[in-house]
Amino acid sequence: LRNELAHVERLGVVGQMAASITHEVRNPMAVVRGFLQLLREKSPGSLDHYYHIVMDELDRANSIINDFLSLAQNHASEKEEVHLHHIIKELTPLLLADANMRGQTIEVKLNEDIPSKFIDPKEIKQLILNLARNGMEAMGNKGTLIISTALDEGNVRLSISDSGPGISLETQNKLFEPFFTTKSEGTGLGLSLCQGIAERHHATIRIDSEEGIGTTFHVIFMNQ
């Protein structure tokens, strides 16, 4: 028990540190961003190329900080009785716009028999967004992302399938490690976040992937 308490306390300190470091780093970054815009206005044209590189890198640093914060804070979920379909329908326009820009399509197949669950809507939104974005990023400039729900031996199952290149078994074993990424602009924190969210919801994530065919991430909410 003492060990467990020490662990909980340590997480608390790490979470607090993450929050204050995040805050302290975000401010100077906002200043850099602002003055960069000003610089560009003062000398239009010649610096455009560098401007876009620096802005993109600033954005990337920002996503790392945001993902890291959600990961380190390890906050308690704020659960309420919500239907998964409600969250999916809320996210659909956003996902459609994203897919559209990439030349991809999205299919949503909802099984009307699934019951509502006691979940944290913000966290589940983040989970779906992370899995859907990964699927879209894997597919390149074509392909179909399928978001579906089903009953799996009485448990609610959410599945996100892509028609991307698939994931080798070797890579599958590393996917959930923090900072593991195969993307030049990736943070490698998305799936670690998903894992934490799943754990707080007594859900398990299962990967079904075939190289050259595509990948499905199943999130199975275990009945308690």
Question: Can you give the binding site for Mg ion, defined by CB under 5 A?
Answer: 134, 190
**Tokens representing residue 69 in the block:** 């914060």
Query: For 120, which DSSP code?
Result: -
- CB of 47: closest distance to ligand ADP in angstroms? 29
Is 114 or 136 the residue whose CB approaches ligand ADP more closely? 136
- Cβ of residue 123: shortest distance to Mg ion, in angstroms? 16
Angle, helices 48-73 vs 190-200, to 10°: value is 20
Residue type, 184: S
Q: Indicate the helix (H) or strand (E) that contains 40.
A: helix 2-42
Q: Which among Mg ion, ligand ADP, none contacts residue 181 (Cβ within 5 to 8 A by kind)? A: ligand ADP
Q: Is 191 in the site for ligand ADP (CB under 6 A)?
A: yes
State the nearest-atom distance from the C-beta of 217 to Mg ion, in Å. Answer: 11
Binding mask 111-130 for ligand ADP (x = CB under 6 A): -------------------x
Interface pick for ligand ADP out of 187, 195, 198, 205 (rule CB under 6 A): 187
Q: Which does 162 bind (CB under 5 to 8 A by kind): Mg ion, ligand ADP, none?
A: ligand ADP
Count Cβ atoms within 10 A of the Cβ of residue 214 and give its class: 0-12 exposed, 13-18 middle, 19 or more buried. Answer: buried
Q: Kindly state whether residue 188 participates in binding ligand ADP, applying the rule CB under 6 A.
A: yes
CA 105 from chain centre, in angstroms, equals 19
| Binding characters for ligand ADP, 132-171, by CB under 6 A (x = yes) | --xx--x-----------------------x-x--x----
In angstroms, the CA 208 to CA 131 distance is 13
Which is it for the CA torsion 175, 179, 183, 186, positive or negative?
A: positive
Burial 160-197 (b: 16+ CB within 10 A, else e): bbbbbbbbeeeeeeebbebeebeeeebbbbbbbbbbbb
Considering CB distances under 5 to 8 angstroms, the limit depending on partner class, which of ligand ADP, Mg ion, none binds residue 180?
A: ligand ADP
Cα distances from 167 to residues 85, 164, 203, 214, in angstroms, run 28, 9, 22, 8
CB 95 within 8 A of CB 106: yes
Q: What track of x and - describes contact with ligand ADP for positions 23 through 42 (by CB under 6 A)?
A: --------------------
Q: Say which entry of ligand ADP, Mg ion, none residue 163 contacts (CB below 5 to 8 A, set by partner kind).
A: none
Residue whose CB is less far from ligand ADP, 9 or 59 = 59
What residues line the site for ligand ADP (CB under 6 A)?
Answer: 130, 134-135, 138, 162, 164, 167, 175, 180-183, 186-191, 215
